[in-house]
Amino acid sequence: MADSTRIDARRGENRSPRKASWRHIGPGIVVAATGVGAGDLVATLIAGGKFGYTLLWAAVIGCLVKVSLAEAVGRWHLATGRTLFDGWRSLGPWTTFYFVGYVVVWGFVYGAAAMSSSALPLAALFPDVMDLKGWALLCGLVGLVFVWFNRYAVFEKVMTVLVGVMFLVTVYLAIRVTPHLDEALAGLVPVLPDGSLIYTLGLIGGVGGTITLAAYGYWVNAKGWTDTGWMKVMRLDNRVAYGTTGIFVVAMLFVGAELLYSSGAALTKGDKGLLDLSGILEQRYGSATAKLFLVGFFATSFTSLIGVWHGVSLMFADFTSKYRPSLVPAGTDREKSLPFRAYLLWLTFPPISLLFLDQPFGLVIVYGVIGAFFMPFLALTLLWLLNSSRTPADWRNGALSNAMLAGAGLLFVVLCVQQVRELPW
């Protein structure tokens, strides 16, 4: 890339495929898989356990919201030839201050959470090998080495394999629990049972909603899609990916509705709730099914780990290139740049201390506040960027895109307020 800040959005359009093809699909699978972590599975299971199939419609709408957000990110990159951070920077210095605070604090805490989440199923599968902290440390180091030494093409292939494991395991479980399809179809009708508002908003906005949505455009560029000739391909990629994720989330809602709702069983909040589900599966269907679920649990968690290690490091390298161009010279492969690898190290080694210590109270508060504001920040800045002269007229938002982004922004503001209120002040 001759200019790391701007690509001519028209250059090479004739060389780019005009027709969407399944063989090009990849970045969407990466972003969708990275966004859905173990915590999202627990939230979906708890919603199914409390309200059965009643909130199925919310899971479907949530999938459509993520499609609109990822499409907007990809469209910005392809239509303008500029990265998302470059777009944010054009809105004023306040966006840079927020981004820096976010990637520093969020990365520090998330690193420990991702390592622990990936370690939980391994510790359950191999209880006599090492303790949870040992598995967490190993997962972090494996993620670091894998992303450090591999380019995007290999990263995408491994992510696709892990997504296949996630998908097959969750669909198998959904079939295994024998869902009541008539009740599931009734759940597509929007209904709000008493006490379900927060769970509904969480299903719509929370599942699959992280900074990795913003990384989608960077993965699109890493794939080699750099101009508007790839727009149809990007849109197909995005829809297939979030359609797959939608099936994944619906399958987990089925499991929650059948295993938890009918029996009244409850899960622990957070990633450890999936270990509770493993125990329930073992009691009802035997150890083989429980172990298969733990394999799917690991695939879900580890895709989030390596996805963040790769995607957010790309974003950090882009940020650095704007303020310290000498660290990422024009034409440099960002995956091999000093800032990319520095952020990889930040995600891995400082968080290890949190594996052995309780998270400091102040850090929990800052992490919670900064993280709660990210999705409103993403939705509303995309709305701003894609309706302004920064975007070529042909690729600005239409009425549907504006409605989806505005609705998403409002939803995320409400969720943000709720998350901040629930922090341990």
**What one-character DSSP code corresponds to residue 85?**
H
Question: Bigger pLDDT: 17 or 203?
Answer: 203
pLDDT above 90 (res 69): yes
pLDDT of residue 5: 39
Q: Residue 264's pLDDT band (boundaries 50, 70, 90)?
A: low
Q: Yes or no: say if 212 and 141 are a contact pair by the CB < 8 Å rule.
A: no
Alpha-carbon distance of 135 to 120, in angstroms, equals 8
Alpha-carbon distance of 387 to 210, in angstroms, equals 23
Q: Yes or no: say if 308 and 110 are a contact pair by the CB < 8 Å rule.
A: yes
Q: In the block, which residue shows the tokens 């704007």? A: 322
Alpha-carbon distance of 108 to 409, in angstroms, equals 26
Q: Which amino acid is at 293?
A: F
Q: How many CB atoms are located within 10 Å of the residue 299 CB?
A: 24
pLDDT above 50 (res 1): no
pLDDT above 90 (res 287): yes
The tens digit of pLDDT for each residue in 87-107 reads 999 999 999 999 998 899 888
Alpha-carbon distance of 347 to 335, in angstroms, equals 15
**What one-character DSSP code corresponds to residue 327?**
G
**Range from 254-268, 331-345, 367-381 that averages highest in pLDDT:** 331-345
Q: Rounded to the nearest 5 degrees, what angle is found at the Cα of 306, between the Cα atoms of 408 and 35?
A: 15
Alpha-carbon distance of 414 to 411, in angstroms, equals 5
Q: Residue 338's pLDDT band (boundaries 50, 70, 90)?
A: very high
Q: Rounded to the nearest 5 degrees, what angle is found at the Cα of 386, between the Cα atoms of 382 and 392?
A: 150
**What one-character DSSP code corresponds to residue 257?**
I
**Can you say how many angstroms the Cα of residue 398 is from the centroid of all Cα atoms in its chain?**
25
Q: Which amino acid is at 21?
A: S
pLDDT of residue 266: 67
Region 177-202: mean pLDDT is 85
Alpha-carbon distance of 413 to 417, in angstroms, equals 6
β-strand partners of 82 = 6
pLDDT above 80 (res 423): no
Region 23-49: mean pLDDT is 85
pLDDT above 50 (res 47): yes
pLDDT above 70 (res 13): no
pLDDT of residue 6: 44
Alpha carbon separation from 108 to 81, 277, 337 (Å, rounded):
31, 29, 20
**Range from 42-51, 250-259, 262-271, 381-390 that averages highest in pLDDT:** 381-390
Q: Yes or no: say if 306 and 146 are a contact pair by the CB < 8 Å rule.
A: yes
pLDDT of residue 46: 84
Q: Yes or no: say if 252 and 39 are a contact pair by the CB < 8 Å rule.
A: no
The tens digit of pLDDT for each residue in 399-412 reads 999 999 999 899 88
Question: Bigger pLDDT: 377 or 415?
Answer: 377
pLDDT of residue 2: 38
Average pLDDT of the chain to the nearest whole number: 86
**Can you say how many angstroms the Cα of residue 141 is from the centroid of all Cα atoms in its chain?**
21
The tens digit of pLDDT for each residue in 207-242 reads 556 788 999 999 999 999 999 999 999 999 999 888
Alpha-carbon distance of 319 to 211, in angstroms, equals 14
On the CB side of 20, CA atoms within 13 Å amount to 12
Tokens of 314: 């790309």
pTM of the model: 0.89
Region 37-47: mean pLDDT is 81
Alpha-carbon distance of 35 to 41, in angstroms, equals 11
Q: Residue 275's pLDDT band (boundaries 50, 70, 90)?
A: confident
Q: Residue 128's pLDDT band (boundaries 50, 70, 90)?
A: confident
353 phi, psi to nearest 5 deg: -60, -30
Question: Bigger pLDDT: 221 or 62?
Answer: 221
pLDDT of residue 346: 96
Alpha-carbon distance of 185 to 177, in angstroms, equals 17
